[in-house]
Amino acid sequence: MKTVILIGAMGKMGQAALTGLGNHKVITASRSGKDVDYKVDITDEGSIRNLYEQVGHFDAVVNTVGQCEYANFTEMTEAQWMSTVMSKMMGQINLVRIGQDFIAESGSFTLISGILNVKPIPYAIADATTSGAIDTFVKCVAYEMPKKLRINVVNPTVLVEAWDVYGEMMPGFEPVQGTLVGKAFERSVDGFLTGEVIYVDA
């Protein structure tokens, strides 16, 4: 049994990830702190450090947070770009950059991206761009990870559980069950993969 920090646990992707972490002691966290063990804001370095210090020993970090702004490229402001970059891209990179000092030897990081960087749709340019950045970050940084650490990213299509929110934006997409996406997180945490983009598509 590993100790796994699951960030964004009460969100739709967090709940999907949780279905794949049944063999482990899961410590949950989110920005509001509602119904979870710890409060953390992934856009704030001090908050990330504070989470890791408070938890103490842990073997894996699973992040399912990456807040994105949705708008046409022609209308998207720099503020909208920056808030997406600071959450979905830098927030996740900082979880790894700061976490490498705290996580146990041979531990793992699992990040979140999303299928829109390979299957573009209108309004989703910031999500797609930062998802692509995270996929690239994981593939390349795996070669540099200290302490025999592993790192992967789950790149899923839309969840059945989120279809009511995103379905209208995504004609021609087939949603997948959260439990299937949960298995991708399980493969990352329990397997030996590193530097992988684990796609879950229908």
Ligand X SMILES: NC(=O)c1ccc[n+]([C@@H]2O[C@H](COP(=O)([O-])OP(=O)(O)OC[C@H]3O[C@@H](n4cnc5c(N)ncnc54)[C@H](OP(=O)(O)O)[C@@H]3O)[C@@H](O)[C@H]2O)c1
Which residue has the CB atom at the shortest distance from ligand X?
11
C-beta of 70 vs 105, nearer to ligand X: 70
- Which listed residue (52, 84, 85, 88) binds ligand X by CB under 6 A? 88
- Which listed residue (41, 59, 186, 196) binds ligand X by CB under 6 A? 41
Site string for ligand X, 1-20 (x = CB under 6 A): ------xx-xxxxx------
- Interface with ligand X by CB under 6 A: which range of 77-85, 145-153, 154-162, 185-193? 154-162
| Residue 182 in contact with ligand X, rule: CB under 6 A | no
C-beta of 69 vs 127, nearer to ligand X: 127
Q: Do 17 and 181 contact (CB within 8 A), yes or no?
A: yes
C-beta of 114 vs 192, nearer to ligand X: 114
Q: Closest distance between ligand X and the C-beta of residue 35, in Å? A: 8
Q: Are strands 25-30 and 3-7 parallel, antiparallel or unpaired?
A: parallel
